[in-house]
Structure 1
Amino acid sequence: MESDLSTDLGQLRYVPQNFRDLAETDLGKELWSFLKRSDNLIRMETATLLDRAAVEPLAAGLVAEFGEEVADDRVKQMIGHMVRQVMAALGYKPDRSALRITRPSLFTSGTTYRLEGSEPRQVMKITKEQREAWIKNTMNSAFNVWLNQQVRDADGTLVLDRLYAVAKKYGIQKRYDNLNPGQQRMNIGVQLRKLVDPKEYESFE
């Protein structure tokens, strides 16, 4: 039996437990909102009906929305933790944990919330190189290309001074020095998406 996707999760609050440091950042708040969007609820339930990890269909949207830094291990762990709470609110319980994801994706494994009576599916191994290639091909949304050209050097390394210079240009004063560089970039990116006129980066598509 499917859950009712019309369930209003707008008031559902995330209980961060060991992820409080990330959950209280702008990135954490935006990730929680992202996961509760109706289109992503549909993706998670569809994956569940197909006996796949609930996080799997979220990967492309996460990379496009938050950039390649969303591949940070701790961020991915928090996403999995958030997904578990969203699925619980929809009436699901975890079935299998650490299920290998068999297609190039942001995630190497995830939890399934398989419906009773469904059959396990055969899995195949995806190499690290295939996964990295998928991330690179998926991260190139217009916004990410626009931002990366301003904050990365010639070899692709993130330069934090450039990142905060762009942030300052758009009135962002807050710093995230307690986070790693990738997490800093995602938090700044979350705020820039709200402030930058899409016309400034649409030409990068």
Structure 2
Amino acid sequence: MGGDKLLAALTSAPYIVALKDGVAEQVPPVSKISHMLKEQFPEVPDLKANPVRQFIGMAVRAILSDQGYELDETGVRISRDPVFRSGSTYRLTTEQEEDDDLLVRFVAMLNPDERRRLYDLIKAAM
């Protein structure tokens, strides 16, 4: 099987929608595309081959990362799946920019009295 054809399928709109459905249902997204892969590539006997499944898993991770998702849990068992025995779950990426913001970290370390004082100072400056 050509990796180009497989990657083209995985990055197509129907597959991305199915992957996002898996995230929303909190199941491994690969479980949502197994039947699609079997239908689209019926002549390919090696869909269950370890390197092919690993390629699909890595591609799914990259695709979902581009869509704003991050890895949640790995090694989640999938029962009665025609291709995969296990997969990973994903969640929406948390905003890390706020954590990297100096002001956010500064305000977070203040106690309630200091925060009130800071609020009063900012209000007076406006």
Q: Which residue in 2 is equivalent to 1:72?
A: 49
Report the structure, 1 or 2, having the larger helix content.
2
User: 2: distance between equivalents of 1:27 and 1:35?
Assistant: 13
Could you tell me which runs of 5 or more consecutive residues in structure 1 were left unpaired when the two chains were aligned: 1-25, 117-205
| In 1, Cα distance between equivalents of 2:79 and 2:49 | 20
Which of 63, 88, 108 is the equivalent residue of 2:38? Answer: 63
Note the C-alpha offset of 1:62: 1.1
Q: Does 1:93 align with 2:70?
A: yes
Contact 1:99-1:109 within 8 A present in 2 as well: yes
Secondary structure of 2:70's aligned partner: coil
CA radius of gyration, larger in: 2
1:93 is matched by which residue type in structure 2?
Answer: E
1:52 touches 1:114 (CA, 8 Å); kept in 2?
A: no
1:31 equivalent to 2:25? Answer: no
Percent same amino acid at aligned positions? 27
- The CA distance in 1 between the partners of 2:47 and 2:6, in whole Å, is 10
How far has the Cα of 1:104 moved from its partner?
3.0
> Normalising by structure 2, what TM-score?
0.67
Instruction: Extract unaligned runs of 5+ from structure 2.
Output: 94-126
What is the CA–CA distance in structure 2 between the aligned matches of 1:42 and 1:65, rounded to whole Å? 16
Counterparts in 2 of 1:115-130, with a 5 A limit?
A: 115=92
Residue 50 (structure 1) aligned with residue 44 (structure 2): no
The superposition leaves residues 13-68 of structure 1 with CA deviations (integer Å, 9 ceiling, x where unpaired) of: xxxxxxxxxxxxx7111111101110111100001000000111111111222233
Moved >6 Å (runs of 4+): none
Distance in 2, matches of 1:34 and 1:90, equals 16
Deviations 1:149-169 (A, max 9, x none): xxxxxxxxxxxxxxxxxxxxx
Q: For the aligned residues, what is the CA RMSD?
A: 1.6
Matches within 5 A, 1:8-19: none
Structure 2 CA distance for aligned equivalents of residues 69 and 102 of structure 1: 19
Task: Give, in angstroms, the shift of residue 70 of structure 1.
Answer: 1.1
Aligned length: 91
**Contact 2:28/2:76, CA 8 A, preserved across alignment:** yes
User: d(CA) in 2 for partners of 1:88 and 1:115?
Assistant: 9
Q: Deviations over 1:95-145 (max 9, x none)?
A: 0011111333310001110358xxxxxxxxxxxxxxxxxxxxxxxxxxxxx
Paired residue secondary structure (1:113): strand
